[in-house]
Amino acid sequence: MISLTEQLVSQLQEEFSNREDSYNKNIVKEIYKPLPKGTYPKTTIQEIDNSEKIDRSTAAGERTTALTYQIVQYSRDTEEFDYVDSVKFMASITDDFLSENYKMQRLGSPVIQPYILDKTVMTYTQRYSCVYDKETNLIYIN
């Protein structure tokens, strides 16, 4: 069975691949999966919380899990934008996709900063959460 993280990676990759601009080459991957150095733009997805929601169960008695994901966009200058506007543009595509398709809510404020290993790359970090029922594959709005 495919995990929710794998599903997010696959569908977000498809969302970028279907674009008709330079962002169709954006690589979406789980954070610990290998990738050739210097491959940009890219997006990483990391599950940072996966805890049972004891205080929340549905009327049918299903147990749910609180999931939190950290999503980081990385970009250099592109044909369309400088690296700051590029990661913001990628983040807006991701934000729209996750809120429309998964009803995920963004947590806190995004963090934008140069990549520590390469100052010619900008990063944009966002966190999202949802409540997930693994048995029924339903995502509940927090």
Each residue of 73-132: pLDDT tens digit?
999 998 899 999 999 999 999 999 999 988 888 999 999 999 998 999 999 999 998 887
SS3 assignment, position 31: coil
Q: How many CB atoms lie within 10 A of CB 69?
A: 22
SS3 assignment, position 62: coil
Report residue 134 as tokens: 């693994």
Quote the CA–CA distance of 122 and 87 in Å, as a whole number.
Answer: 7
- The whole-number pLDDT of residue 139 equals 74
Residue type, 132: Y
Is 40 or 132 the better-scoring residue by pLDDT?
A: 40
Which residues, other chains included, contact 12 with Cβ-Cβ below 8 Å and sequence gap of 6+? 28, 43, 45, 94, 97, 98
Which residues, listed in sequence order, are joined to residue 74 by a DSSP beta bridge?
42, 123
- pLDDT band, residue 15 (cuts 50/70/90): very high
* Surface-to-core class of residue 136, CB atoms within 10 Å of its CB (0-12 exposed, 13-18 middle, 19+ buried): exposed
- Cβ atoms of residues 68 and 107 within 8 Å: yes
CATH number for the segment(s) 4-140: 3.30.2000.30
